[in-house]
Structure 1
Amino acid sequence: MAQTIDYGNLMHDAMRGLIREVMSRVARDGLPGNHHFFITVDTTHPEMEMANWLRDRYPSEITLVIQNWFDNLKVDQSGFAITLNFGNAPEPLYIPLDAISTFVDPSVEFGLRFELHAEGDEDDEDDEEAPMMEAEPEDEAPKSGEVVSLDKFRK
């Protein structure tokens, strides 16, 4: 029996469930109103599926924009499949929920940020009890080839 309650992982599971539910509703009903998503994904995740040329271009992470055009959105217990347009080339992707590091809907200033740990990473006990998620949009400086600050998209 565990000696402590792992609140960090429980919160992560709950927030990934929220993302799963949002994506399920979008798959069923489409994006309502001005909603759109910026989703940053760890491209090294073993269950991440993407074209080799995309993986070569984004070897560690990619920020996906789900807004005007997407197709074939299907959600399962572990993640979602979607086809997105990259330079007028539709590309199918599979995004595991536990590969997501940020999920942002700037239309309502909502965001989640997860700390991803590679399997086998050993955290000391203090880190295990610390919250590992923030429920707010990212304000960090953009990295080359990624989505810029959300301030440009706010009205």
Structure 2
Amino acid sequence: MADDHDNTTGNDAFSPTSLLPYDQWLQEAYKGVMLKALEHVSREGLAGQHHFYLTFRTDLPGVQIPDRLRAQYPHEMTIVLQHQFWDLNVDRKAGVVSVGLSFGGVGSILVIPVRAITGFADPSIHFNLHFELGEVAEEVPADSTSAETDDNTEAQGDSSSQVVSLDAFRRKGPSPA
């Protein structure tokens, strides 16, 4: 049965501009999924092969990381929560995620505002979410670097490190957006 208001893929030539903020609502829902996953792991720990890549802007207000990491990753950083991390906490009221990690053998607590998070992935199941920063993205430079922590909990890379591409972990098939 045909629908004159069909806005499915392939009918883009006639797509009306939405008066409802669906994109914003989806971003909020996806961040909710990420926060639920982090909260679950903070209570229960990681199960099986699950592990998380968390990418965030280091140059936004409220991000608390050691000065040496901020100098090394002035715009963006990716951390891996897998084997050795501690005190993972999600404070929804304050809008922050905090976690303890070791970089170069030195333990540090990172405090990351949820609004600074640009990506979340669980590579074990090829699950990946990307978050837009909105207006804030225009205020800061777009170049980035990344770091990972691993079994040895050492930061990888230097000031010219490569960005960890999460494209390989994206779900295949139709996007919910």
- Report the TM-score, using the length of structure 2 for normalisation: 0.66
Whether 1:48 and 2:63 are equivalent positions in the alignment is yes
The Cα shift of 1:146 comes to 3.8
Q: Which amino acid aligns with 1:90?
A: G
SS at match of 1:85: strand
Report if aligned partners of 1:106, 1:150 keep a CA contact under 8 Å in 2: no
Aligned counterpart, 2:112: 95
C-alpha RMSD of matched pairs (Å)? 2.5
Query: How far has the Cα of 1:23 moved from its partner?
Result: 0.5
Report the Cα offset of residue 26 of structure 1.
Answer: 0.4
User: Number of aligned pairs?
Assistant: 130
Asked which structure has the greater CA Rg, the reply is 2
Are 2:27 and 2:132, in contact at CA under 8 Å, matched by a contact in 1? no
- What is the Cα deviation at residue 48 of structure 1? 1.0
Q: Structure 2 unaligned runs (5+)? A: 1-17, 139-159, 169-177
User: Residues 1-155 of structure 1 correspond to what in structure 2 (within 5 A)?
Assistant: 4-77=19-92, 78-119=95-136, 121=138, 144-147=161-164
Contact 1:40-1:100 at 8 Å conserved across structures: yes
In 2, the alpha carbon distance for the partners of 1:22 and 1:120 equals: 25
Q: 1:79, CA displacement in angstroms?
A: 2.3
- 2: CA distance between counterparts of 1:145 and 1:86? 17
Q: In the alignment, residue 23 of structure 1 is paired with which amino acid?
A: L
2:128/2:166 contact within 8 Å kept: no
Once residues 166 and 27 of structure 2 are traced to their aligned partners in structure 1, the CA distance between those partners, rounded to angstroms, is: 24
- SS class of match (1:64): strand
- List gaps (5 residues or longer) in structure 1: 122-142
Identity %: 35
Could you state the TM-score of these two structures normalised by the residue count of structure 1? 0.75
**What amino acid maps onto 1:102 in structure 2?**
G
Instruction: Spell out, residue by residue over 1:99-148, the C-alpha distance to the aligned partner (whole angstroms, 9 max, x if none).
Output: 11111111000000122234395xxxxxxxxxxxxxxxxxxxxx834436
Change (3 A) 1:115 1:90: same
SS in 2 for 1:83: strand
